[in-house]
Each structure stands twice: as structure tokens, then as C-alpha cells.
Structure 1
Amino acid sequence: MNTIALSQTSLTPLKCKSSLSSSSVLKARKSSTTTTTKCINNNYNKMSSTAKEEDITLVIEQQNQKSLSSSSLQSKFARAAVGASLALSLALSPTSAALAANGLPDEEVKVLCDAECVKSLDSIEMVTTPSGLQYKDIIVGDGEMPPIGFQVVADYVAMNEKGLIFDNSVEKGKPNDIRLTGDPESATVIVGLDEGLLSMRSGGLRRLYIPGDLAFPKGLASAPGRPKIPPNSPVMFDVKLLYIPGLD
């Protein structure tokens, strides 16, 4: 009950008629008392009802304020989330965002055989040598074929059997000088690469499928950006014979 509302409520005076007879006076007094009591009760009930309504109104207002505060807080969180998302999208350059969406690396790696070239490999005949080396000529060179003991200048991209690159002279921007021996014991590079270059002509591009026994007998340790090559595991080389010093 609201005591403030109760103290501010005025009671309307009751008017009761009297009679000269004592019995009438007694009845009148009883009637007046009863009427007064009823009036007081009625006024009290009205004031109680008013106080309860005010209390209910106050509770409703408080709940509305809490609801508004909660909605305002949720709105702030929503705006913050949108802002964070926008900041993240702006932080990525359009190129980086597009590449990330397609699961591609941020920078394009330079290779000798791109995606279109890889597709064309299906239609190129596979050649297998007596040692177990296999290769496909993507481009047949029109230059000289290197004699044993000669040095050649070549670019190559070395990959594991899953196609992950572990060495790339094209990306480094520096071709390799390789002396070809034709001898597994004295080869300056892995045996499969030495053999594969010996049967190429300058200007040619070839993919070598090198079996484990012609690759890395001790394997290669992993490094940042380079996968591990287990001992005697097969590898692939895309190799381009640029020229043969002294002949080209």
C-alpha cells in the first residue's frame, strides 16, 4: 500500500439525521456508527485500490525501463559486431580477400607448369626408362642435347608426390648450373634429375616422375614453407633446359 497516497486522500464528512426519541436517537447512533464504518471502509478500500494501482503502474514502468536498457545494450553489441566485421573486411585487400575465399595462397607462386599445363599432362605420353625414371615432354626443345660431362643451365620446380613444392629456382630468380655425369656415384644432383636432363634438348620443358631410389636416399628435413621429404620417397621435377654453355 502506498502510504503517501493514503495520507493525501481527504475523507468526505458523513451527514446523519437525528430524532427526538431516545430509541430513535439510539437507532440513529447505531445507524450512524454503521454508516460511518461503511464509509470509512469504502474510503479505505478506494484508497487501497488506488495505492495498488499506483504500485502496479510503478512496477510496469520499472520493467519497461529495464526492457529499454536491455534493448539498448543489445543494440550496442550488435553495432559493435557489425563494426568489427567491417574492420576485418577492410583490413584484407580485395586481392587477399578473394584469394582467401577460394582457398588460394595470398601470393601467386611462379612455376614452370601452371594449371592449364597440368591439365595438358593427361594427353601427353609417358616415357619410362630402364632405371624406372618416368617423364612427359611438355615442350620438346629444338637445341642441342648435352654430352656427358658438360654443364647445363636449367630451371626446376621440385615437388613431393602430392605436388607440394620444396625447391623452386624460378621463384628464387636464379637458374641452376648443373654438371651432368651420367653416373649415379658421381652425380652432382639426384640421380633421376641427372638422367632426365641428359636426354633433353635445350629449350625443352619436361616433367620428371622420379622414384624413391633415384631421389633422396636420406630424405630432406622440413623447413618454413617446405614440406618434409622422407628417405627414398618419390618426387616430381618440372625442369626446363635453358641452354648448354659452349654449345648454345
Structure 2
Amino acid sequence: MDQCLFLFDIDGTLIDVGGAGVGAIRLAVQDLYGDEIAVPELDVRGTTDAALARKLLPAMGAEVTAGSIAQLYEAYLIRLREEFQKVNRGAGILPGVCELLDTLKAEGVVMGLLTGNLEAGAWIKLKRFGLDQYFSFGAFGDKHPERDKLGPEALAEAKRVHQRGFNPMTTVVIGDTPRDISCGRVIGSSTVAVATGAYSLEELSEHNPTLALQSLQESGAILDLLSKLSGEKSSDAEAGDRTT
């Protein structure tokens, strides 16, 4: 089973940040461009921070350059740390998360992140709730504006960190938005959609994930999927042995 790879989204999948992320973005924009600036409504569901930056900067009348993006990221990370010091608006680990992560860890599953967050922002969020210990690598939203490009990045990072390749067919992408489903489908992996974010179970099911769950408390279905993928892996290996 140690060959199976699980890639997790963060917001709405592992944790609820209680509005700290969006709040930090708004404050960062005001820090840079003035308190009187009208920050546009932000749809952050399944998007990447790189894509958000490229939308926000022109709206502020700023040019999109490497420098302006880096400046916005820096201001955001400062505000994110501050927001987490006071956040108490329902923020916390989502149901079933710790139990599932502990079980997967015990089964020898390799776990990584596939998230639209900045890398530094992702670790800030996970460390706030003690979940960083479960993950050894990730693909992050400052690498590509397009989320669908993060799947190949995650597989490459898994190979770099663990010094061996992972088969997309025994990889599982877990997230709470249609974009997570799409991201997994691009690399040919199984997908688990969980309705603990902004989308309902019915809305997620319309995008045909491998599994659609109300929450990660439904770990039995995920473990059944793990068992199936591990069995397929063993069968493939045995078939390869017979042909050599």
C-alpha cells in the first residue's frame, strides 16, 4: 500500500479557516493601495493564489509584474499570520480529517498537498491546526495560475521527495470543489469530492468524481478505494513479473 499517493486540498477539505484567508487578502490589498480602495468580491473556491493576484492587481490599477505579485504575496502572508491570531469564527479541523490521516499514515500511504494556496500560506494554515506533520511535499498555487497544471507538479514533487515515481492510476486527489475533481482527472487519478466546503454533495456529484462524500467521516468508502487501488497495483506487478 505504500505505493499509493493521496493528494489533499486544504481549505474546505482539511480545515475551515473561518474567513481568515479572504480577510487577509482584503487587508493586504488595503495595506498596499489604501484603506479607501474598494476590494472586489472574491470567488476563491478552487482557484489559485497566483490567479487571484492576477485578477486583483489590475482591479487596483496596478501592473501585473513579478515585483507587484511578490509584494502582494508578502503583504498577504503578514496579514494571514495576524488573522490567525484572532480567528474564532468556526475555524478548525473538519470532521473526520484527523482520523483519516492517521489511518492512511498507518497504512503507509504517501500523502501530499495539491492546493491553490501559496506554499508559505499553506504551511501557515496547516501548522495552525497541527496538520503539517502529515505532509512531506506539495504542489502550490504560486507555481501556476491554472489549477489543472498543479497535478503534474504534485507527481513530480512526490518523485523528487521520495526518490521514486508514483502511478497516477494509484493516486487519489481529495478536494471540495469541481476544480479539484478536474485537477485529478487531468492526471488520470481517482478523485474524492467532499461536501465540507462551498459546494453541496449534489453539485459535486454532477462532476462525476470517483467518490462524492458528505464529509471525510465517511472514511470507509475511502479505505475501500485504497484497498481496490492497492489490489490493482499488486495485480499489475504480478502481471509484469509473469511477462519477464
TM-score band, normalised by shorter chain = under 0.3
Q: Which has the larger radius of gyration?
A: 1
More RCO (CA 8 Å, sep 6+)? 2
More helix by share: 2
